[in-house]
Amino acid sequence: MKKCKLCSLLLAPISLLAPALISKPLELGSQVPDISALNDRGETVQLNKAFAEGFCLIYFYPRSFTGGCTAQACSLRDAWAELSDMGAVILGVSPDSVETQSAFRAKYKLPFELLADTDNNVGEAFGSPPFSRQAFLFKDGLLIWRDLRASTRTQAEDVLKAIQALGDTNIN
């Protein structure tokens, strides 16, 4: 079978870019990536500093104000007291703008910060593809649990189970 020269020329650049487009998620035991992003107030958050101590959850969601993303955020909001008692810090991340994140946080009275990852730098650092729904739990700066197909309605329940499975919730 004869190869099409035009097809080969067109596909060559794509094959070179493919590995860069498909990044692997952080492995358990990895440190928090040294990356920053703007929160819903337009302030810079340095993740490795924010996640240096205690339990810290960073969860990725595709779009603010959609059904699944709202359910996911509200699941964590509704369990905020219990998660806070365990010493957990939460950051939500989506490709939405600072303004959209601010409006989403206000409308649903979310007690945790949301990060605007409009250029997908945070997603790339975590190996989380754009518009994905994933969650990463750190303790003292090291990844201890991840959910690469994070739930919407049971996100908080899944995180609480992960923390409780460690048997050490007294981190303060």
Give me the active site residues, please: 69
> In 159-169, which positions are buried (b, 16+ CB within 10 angstroms) versus exposed (e)?
bbebbeeeeee
Task: List alpha helices for 67-134, DSSP H.
Answer: 67-78, 80-85, 98-107, 121-126
Q: Is the dihedral of CA 13, 16, 20, 24 positive or negative?
A: positive
Q: Are 89 and 51 in contact (CB under 8 A)?
A: yes
CA separation for the pair 162, 144 (Å, rounded): 9
